[in-house]
Amino acid sequence: MDVVTNHKDNMRSAVYSSETVLNPTNVNSLRFGKVNFFAVDGKVDAQPLYLANVSIPGVGTRNVLYVVTEHGSAYAFDADSGAQLWKVSTIGVGESPSDDASCSAAITPEIGITATPVIDRTRGPHGALYLVAMSKSPPPSPGA
């Protein structure tokens, strides 16, 4: 089942009313847990998103996990093998992720992409991933 936004649907309910596989007998410490680790370049505060059966040119059809980081990067991973399919940076030339701007929240030491993105599979030929990123420009040169 696709997860295209925070808490799965536009109501942000996080309710999977059609779930038929997971139940109290198979979700336990003996039979359920972490199955992979995906290396990324920064802290992950946003909820990862998932699309089933994504057609990727030159690769084929894959189940894809999308992850964004506070370092300003967006990743696509093959959800089954763990292989990185692509990585895109939202940081422009000469920019860097924002510092924590004395934020009292736990978003530290840098702020890049904090909120969960949204995916629209119907937008364009390959769909679209929408996200909000923060970065900072270097200070101006003296005399500029």
CB 87 within 8 A of CB 125: no
- Minimum mean pLDDT among 24-28, 29-33, 113-117, 140-144: which range? 140-144
- Report pLDDT for 51: 95
* Mean pLDDT, rounded, for 88-99: 91
**Between the CA of residue 127 and those of 41, 76, 98, 111, 130, what are the distances in Å?**
25, 13, 28, 26, 10
Residue closest to 136 by CA, chosen among 92, 90, 91, 98: 98
At residue 91 the predicted structure's pLDDT band, cuts being 50, 70 and 90, is: very high
At residue 123 the predicted structure's pLDDT band, cuts being 50, 70 and 90, is: very high
